[in-house]
Each structure stands twice: as C-alpha cells, then as structure tokens.
Structure 1
C-alpha cells in the first residue's frame, strides 16, 4: 500500500474507517467517500487523507468521488466499494420504497462506483477493486433483501472479472461474517449470548488489503472472527449440451 491511492466508499465508519486507517499506516493515500460529513472529515483529518461527501446511490456522486481522487493525487490504484446498509424491510413489512432503499445503496451503489472508476483504471492499465459482500451473500440471512443484494455482489465480481482482465483491472469480493461495527451495535449482546463471535473491523481491514494485493481476479474471499481470510472455491455448473 505504500504510495498507493485508494478510494473507499462508506469509509467514515466501521470496516471502511478501519481500512482507511490501516492503509494510512502502511504509507498509502486514502480518499473517503461517505454521506456522514462530520465523521468523514474527522477521519480524513486524522489520517491526512481526503474526504468527499457522496451518496453512492447517486451515479453523479460516484463520478465526483473518482474525479476528486484523481485531481488530488493524480492517480487511482485501488477501490474499495464498501458502502452498505442493513435491509430496510422484509416480506412481512415489504414496501417498494424500503426495498429500493436497500438495493439503492447495497447494489446500485457498487455498480455505479464500479462504472465510475473504470475510466482512470483503464487509462492507467491497472487497478484492483474490492467489493464488500457478506457471508449472507454465500448462504442466506433473515435479513432477506440485504442477503439478496450481497448475493448479487458475489455474482457481479465473478462475472465482471473476465471483462476487465484485458485492461489489467482485477475485481474480487470479500464476504465478512459478523463484524463489530455500528450497524450491529444494537444486537451485540444478543449475538454474543447466542455464542456468536464478532470479528474486529481491523481484521476485516487486513483481509481487504490481502484481497487488493492478491494477483487473482474474480475470486470470492471470506473472513470471520478467529479465522484467516481465505478464497472460497468457485462451483462451476456446465451448461447443458447435446
């Protein structure tokens, strides 16, 4: 990460903030894109980085964040598409607005961020992209539409990789288990009472660094409390043929 420029969406708290601090300690230059202006500006000041206010559900905000990164540092080496929210509804309380609010951030925001960063990465002829999915994207979750969005991100990373490889761009997905972030704070005691372990955000940040540095592409990684980051083998289902 020494000297590398990394853009992190949802970088003002949780996994994003831990990743920003880790990359700063490693000598990297970090750009934080987030809706939380106060937290984003404070963290950028702490690490000597750049904060760009951005709602990832807005395509123009993603383009602005990428352009601001290149204008400030002259390049873009890594992108961590990390911004995400818990599901806003389920089947029992479904509304179109709540469903769309979930996918607007968790899926659309990643697609828009991916699209926005491709121009400078193609121009440079290299780059590494980490998509923040979830264990819920490999199995399932009571948080129905959160899991739906994360399954989509796993498919996005695996499917986009061959199309980007010729341009020297790698894209991989990281699927953390339960992580001790503000989003899980209200449920921390209940989860621990059930015997479930929560990973430290710093451990997930280390996994993000491993994913970005790995020479592979189209891979899906997992990281959970007490377990090292590891690649999940892909299951290939051949098409039917005569």
Structure 2
C-alpha cells in the first residue's frame, strides 16, 4: 500500500468522490488531494461537504446520488473545473436499521436501495464518457456484508452484494474500454453507519477499522486494482482481492464449460467453450 501522505502519486489526476462530506469519503478526498489530485467533493450535506472541499482545495457538488441528473452534474463539474476525470469513487451509502418483519418500511427500503445501489449505477453511467477519454478508474464502496452473510442487517447485505455483483460483471466489459472498475469491501469501520450498534460490536470484541485503514485500501486499489476485483478490508490483515470460489457453470454435452465474451448484448453468438481451470 501507499505511504500515507504521498505527495506525488496522484499528481495531475482528477477525482470525483461521492459521500465525501464525512467518514470514508472525506478520508479518500483528503488522501487523493494530499497526493496531488484535484477533487470534487460530492454530498448532500452542504455545510460539511463545502468544508471538506475548501480544506482539500477542490470543488463541491451537491449530489443526491438517487438522482441520475445530479450524478451527471457532478461529473460535469469535474470536467469543466479541472479538465477531465480520472477517478470516480462511488462511496455514498447509508445503513438500513430495519428488517423484513413488522419493522419493514417500503419507503425507507427504496431510499436505502436508491443510495446504496442506484447511486453506484447512476455514478458509473455518468462517469463513463469522461473516464473512457483518460483510461480512468471506478471504485465503489461495497462491504464485507456483500461477501458474507449479514444476519444483523440482511437488507444492507443485499445492497452490498448487488454492488459486488455489478462490479464483477462490469470488470471485463469496462476493461475493454480502458476503464478499470473495482469494489472495496470494508468490515465495520469507525463511521456514522455503525453509530446505532457500536456498543454491541465493542461488547462482542469485534474490531472496528479506523477510517485511515480503509482509505489505505482505496489507495491500493486505485493503484493496483485489476478489472472486477473486490478487495476485502479487515482489521489485522492486509487488504487484498477476495478470491471468489469458482461456482458450477453451464457445460456443453462434451463437458466443456460455457463462457461468454465481454459484451453479451452486442453479439448474438457469444457463447464459447473452454476447459475449466
């Protein structure tokens, strides 16, 4: 991983960071700016977002990630103010705080899905044209909850598992266009999302990651991430890409595994075969 405060690693780069008014997003914005990047801080918390933007010498965009037009406007600000876009860090996210029993609230559910999943989808869509021009990178904030069962908040786990699936599927598609997409999957980190159950975590002896530890992983992914990788972040061990088990897949009559070209929608005869590694 990069040394903290590296002053040259991101020189000349332009980054958009959503959910950057506090927590992980603010930490990423600060680290990128310390490394020489120009940063657009995007959030709905105008007071804190503007303060972070002023601190890092960047620009602030009011951006409700549930609205695709606002994601597009944040990208346009990066392009118009700084001349292009190299990194889109799609970090905006919230916890749920409810389940599928008597406490279920469809309106709150749509709001959570709108931020945690739609915000990534809309952010990718908005950023792609600018990123294609410069061979850029997308990093979405997922969670360990997207890699393993999350009994204390199954709906949050569903949000983040969807982000993981999206990143894995987009990996080869966008790599063919010169854009690398990754996810960072932290365990419980010291942010506002865990405020409602921080005491329970501490009582159970669950380590809570420092924000800077998660930011270290973002820096490593922005530097070294390969298409479609989802990097776990856990206390006490170095971050690395999660090695997904190879699931059973469709086979031809002769036993060869069926695979697909990167752009299934463009070519009718996309299935190919190959021996499973």
Do both proteins adopt the same fold according to a TM-score greater than 0.5, normalized to the shorter chain? yes
Q: How does 1:65-84 map to 2 (within 5 A)?
A: 65-84=74-93
Partner of 2:124: 114
Distance in 2 (alpha carbons) for counterparts of 1:231 and 1:62: 28
Structure number, greater radius of gyration: 2
Note the C-alpha offset of 1:88.
4.9
Distance in 2 (alpha carbons) for counterparts of 1:107 and 1:140: 18
2:182–2:230 Cα contact (<8 Å) kept: yes
Partner of 2:142: 133
Note the C-alpha offset of 1:215.
4.9
1:96 aligns with 2:77: no
Distance in 2 (alpha carbons) for counterparts of 1:172 and 1:150: 13
From 139, 147, 160, the equivalent of 2:157 is 147
1:88–1:101 Cα contact (<8 Å) kept: no
1:44 aligns with 2:50: no
1:69–1:75 Cα contact (<8 Å) kept: yes
Select the structure with the greater relative contact order (CA < 8 A; seq sep ≥ 6): 1
Note the C-alpha offset of 1:227.
2.0
Note the C-alpha offset of 1:188.
2.2
Q: How does 1:1-242 map to 2 (within 5 A)?
A: 1-92=10-101, 93-124=103-134, 126-141=135-150, 142-237=152-247, 238-242=249-253
| Deviations 1:11-41, CA, capped at 9 Å, x for gaps | 1111001111111111111111101000000
Q: Which ranges in structure 2 are unaligned for 5 or more consecutive residues?
A: 1-9, 254-277
Note the C-alpha offset of 1:235.
2.4
Distance in 1 (alpha carbons) for counterparts of 2:166 and 2:18: 17
Inter-CA distance 233–109: structure 2 relative to 1 (3 Å threshold): same
Q: Which ranges in structure 1 are unaligned for 5 or more consecutive residues?
A: none
Root mean square deviation of aligned Cα = 1.2
2:182–2:225 Cα contact (<8 Å) kept: no
User: Which one has the bigger helix percentage?
Assistant: 1
Note the C-alpha offset of 1:52.
0.3
Distance in 1 (alpha carbons) for counterparts of 2:79 and 2:30: 20
Aligned length: 241
Note the C-alpha offset of 1:177.
0.2
The alignment's TM-score, normalised by the length of structure 2, stands at: 0.84
The alignment's TM-score, normalised by the length of structure 1, stands at: 0.96
2:184–2:230 Cα contact (<8 Å) kept: yes
